[in-house]
Amino acid sequence: MSSSPPRYKRAILKLSGEALREPGSTDNISPEIVERIAREVREALAPGDVQLGIVVGGGNFWRGASASARGMDRATADYVGMLATVMNSLALQGSLEHHGVPCVVQSAIEMKNVAETFIRRKAERHLNEGRVVIFAAGTGSPFFSTDTTAALRASEMSANVVFKATMVDGVYDSDPKKNPNAKKFSRVSFHDCISKQFKVMDATAFSLCMDNHIPIVIFDLGEVGNITRALRGESIGTLVNGEETVAA
């Protein structure tokens, strides 16, 4: 594995909640997957020259949009989803600390018995002092996804990049699970992501990163070592930025 220095000083890592569940398992969180993620983060941060914030989704427990489609009030459904992200964040915090990575959970919804309340300047201080900050409970408001949370926190923290670790290995022109001839992009512009409605992130997240000139790297969380490769600046997955779209 390459030990070249990372291209980014401060990064936001967005983890899919669903990716924390073992495929086919009835358990919402796989301790083994969470531990693997923690080990990879520890390895990536070992040189000490990357500051890292993490946003975790809650899809392994709950999806507000799905519950709303089945008749639940959307705002209430989204608040339930925010609490799901807190559970995932606490599980990840426990594993990171077990592996010697100092970290803190900051929640956008006040719950002082289990997490700090999100305060931008305090989060900035944690990052500068070498702690991983896990941003929980989304934006604290309904109708916003955790992808948008990652883009928002990246903008607030002046991050150099958003890494989205998900269940696909990049951006395709169509669903590769349904279309065996789907074309993968090595680089894709923000404009194309928004206008062509690529579903790897929502339009609000893309727009926030575009407006603040923050590139996004989308890669497969399932492949062992990918988190370390991404955080160390290796070419991986698909890069989303302001430049032209290029096929892989």
Place of tokens 């995932």: 88
**Residues 12, 55 contacting (CB under 8 angstroms):** yes
C-alpha span between 100 and 221 (Å, rounded):
22
Q: Strands, DSSP E only, in 44-174?
A: 51-56, 103-107, 116-117, 132-136, 161-166, 171-172
- Length of the chain equals 248
Binding-site positions for UMP: 58, 78, 139-146
Determine the Cα–Cα distance for residues 242 and 235; give it in Å rounded to an integer.
17
Residues that constitute the known binding site for ATP:
14-17, 59, 63, 166, 172, 175
**62 closest CA partner among 134, 138, 133, 152:** 138
Apex CA 173: angle with CA 169 and CA 176, to 5°?
A: 50
Q: Which residues are annotated as a binding site?
A: 14-17, 58-59, 63, 78, 139-146, 166, 172, 175
Neighbours of 231 (CB within 10 A): 24
